[in-house]
A and B are shown apart, each in its own frame.
Chain A
């Protein structure tokens, strides 16, 4: 495990930080929100493609740079700092990983280069209830001669409102709750019978509900082996959880920096409020949580690149801790700002709203705590 970035990784981090700061600052998210864009941002997408960010996890033969998850983590952390609404996590991490890990030669050839170029955005349509539950898939995939017919519904698909290509989990065997019998399908957004309901979400990043009303797919659209979709989706979800943890860490750090700045400027009782010990100790504890979470996130990122056998455990550790940390820090951020923290004009509320989404996606703290315990036998 390595905690020190290589020179190349550090350069990528620096580039990503200045890109987020200069091109996608929090004011940009406000503009998107106020113009009703619902997180859809063609400018950001184009710039991300120019910088090669979509291809960081994609093999060179398919137009990517195969730079690894540590590198991708730096970009996502930078985006988390400014709450940037971009399709990078869903497309560059989830779509790229799912196809790289499970795609046939033909599927890789068809999609990966387009993903790397930012021409195709992907979304994973897995969960059907209000809480993350990979084995809970009920959407049916019925054999129909040359392929399958998909019927069912998906809720709160991140980037579902702007994806060109969906990775849809459906049941080819068994009952909801069974880990065997789930299969994954690549479904273009214009497939007959697929309808996408865009959602206005609390964080202004947007998402979508999907309904599948007899959507036909060919055998060629099956991603990985039939019935074994969960085996493929697990490592993809580990990467998604780690990536989401990176983004949450970035948001938590930014909310903390903003709070610290306020503690060092706001005066009451003729004192800087940061000189009150009640606030000093809370700030010191937030800092402690942040530092420990940073260690977990870094360990999880490097475990993936080193193909360690601890990826799942560290993914759950990183996601659980990052969820809790961003929750705590964003709440303290509002509290320590007092009245101004409650106003829409101030950024602290935006951090608290995004934090709730970061917590919920790919499993919250309690989901990952339970998973961590299971992986360790208690």
Chain B
């Protein structure tokens, strides 16, 4: 890199540092609390007023989406500048101002496939956290075989009319808008699919929460009855939906592998090795006393380390302009295995302390670990099951043939 560039980058670092110093509120530099996560949108209540301030300031600056074009409200930063910004954010232990399907999956896809008007209309509100989006892909009859979806979308001249049902729609009851896969042509499987956007407050939309094994209800069955959608809310061409859907799934899978699984963490939960020392005990060298458990914890820790090195490798190779499809394809599968193994070990190490459900008598963090353990079972299902991921690796990466 030329000296001039280096100087500009160092100037940018100083500028970012000063700005963060001034604008990041004190409580936003403490570890995230589960009930203070901000998803934005019309229904956001901001349990901590400083989270509101932090989101407004970061959103105004475009730094919730640092590399998106400035003309749509993004930060307009180069990859080098963004790297510096992330370093500076980590340095002060700043919380992410916004969790958002808009940032992680829908926005990147809209930037590629949306028209000018759509980008101007939707992207700035994603950046500022004003609109919360949900993903209307799966249906009762179309999960892994997503292209089998049946939700109907008819052209009524000046609008589209949508009828059908989605399921497992995460946060449909809290979202403002939905990006949705619908069928515009029943004669063709993949080419009959379109990608459409509409307001969840439109007449005829109903979202009914479904309770999960973890006790939480993060997703819904979602019904559409004669929902009228303006024609300018269809993204790309009619019949191009499958292409957009697949691209969006790539963003979804890589955000899962880079950031881990949302909602399964939980503040205050220790590592399995720490719970093991606490509840199983230590030997005279201060190590986990149960050698078999220690071995399995170590195995997991090494897997986790290998995984994070692989994420780093794939990021670096992408930056150097090398082909990384091969490396990236394994990450969603690996992330699911890693997170599930971790939770299994947490529960095992916690022993009976990890068997509480609610009420008194158990540590809050232990109860969270228990819920997280149950929630983690979804990791190998959501965003494409592990079996489907292995199919994809076998066919697309390894070039193995379809069974005839």
Contact = CB atoms under 8 A, between A and B. Distances in A.
Contact of B276 (A4, A260, A294, A378): A378
The 10 closest A-B pairs by CB, nearest first: A280-B394, A284-B393, A378-B273, A295-B309, A3-B313, A295-B310, A284-B390, A274-B400, A373-B298, A292-B306
Contact of A296 (B298, B306, B393): B306
A332 B211 CA distance: 42
Contacts of B294: 373, 378
Interface of A: 1-4, 260, 263-264, 270-272, 274-277, 280-281, 283-285, 287-288, 291-296, 298-299, 317, 320-321, 366, 369-370, 372-374, 376-378
B403 to A, nearest CB: 4
Best-surrounded residue of A1, A280, A285, A298 (most CB of chain B within 10 A)? A280
Contact of B398 (A287, A292, A296, A377): A287
- Interface SS of chain B: helix
Interface stretch (B74-82, B172-180, B322-330): B322-330
Interface residues of B, number: 45
B277 interface: yes
B156 interface: no
Given A263-B400, A291-B327, A378-B276, A1 B390 contact: no
A275 B302 contact: no
Contacts of A293: 306
A295 B313 contact: yes
A284 B394 contact: yes
Interface in B310-336: 310, 312-313, 316-317, 320, 322, 326-327, 330, 333-334
A2 B393 CA distance: 26
Nearest to A2: B316
Nearest to A296: B306
Given A283-B394, A291-B327, A317-B302, A1 B400 contact: no
Contacts of A280: 390-391, 394-395, 398, 400
A292 B310 CA distance: 6
A280 B317 CA distance: 27
B302 A264 contact: no
Contacts of B397: 284, 287
B287 interface: yes
Contacts of B330: 287-288, 291-292
Interface string B264-305: 000000000100110000000011100000110111011101
A275 B400 contact: yes
Contact of A378 (B297, B387, B393): B297
Contact of B401 (A1, A2, A274, A292): A274
Given A275-B401, A280-B400, A291 B305 contact: no
A378 to B, nearest CB: 4
Contact of A275 (B288, B301, B333, B402): B402
Given A275-B404, A292-B330, A295-B312, A372 B298 contact: yes
B399 interface: yes
25 contacts: A1-B312, A4-B322, A264-B399, A275-B403, A280-B390, A280-B394, A280-B398, A280-B400, A281-B390, A283-B398, A284-B389, A284-B390, A284-B394, A288-B334, A294-B313, A296-B309, A299-B309, A320-B302, A366-B295, A369-B295, A370-B298, A373-B287, A376-B301, A378-B276, A378-B277
B122 interface: no
Contacts of A294: 313
A277 to B, nearest CB: 7
A287 B310 CA distance: 13
Nearest to A300: B309
B299 A288 contact: no
A320 B294 CA distance: 15
Given A274-B400, A283-B394, A287-B330, A3 B306 contact: no
A280 B398 CA distance: 9
A4 B317 contact: yes
A146 to B, nearest CB: 41
Given A3-B317, A370-B298, A295 B393 contact: no
Nearest to A376: B301
A363 to B, nearest CB: 14
A169 B249 CA distance: 57
Contact of B404 (A271, A283, A296, A317): A271
Nearest to B276: A378
Given A376-B273, A378-B298, 15 more contacts: A3-B316, A274-B401, A277-B391, A280-B390, A284-B389, A285-B390, A292-B309, A298-B313, A299-B312, A317-B302, A366-B295, A369-B295, A370-B295, A372-B302, A378-B273
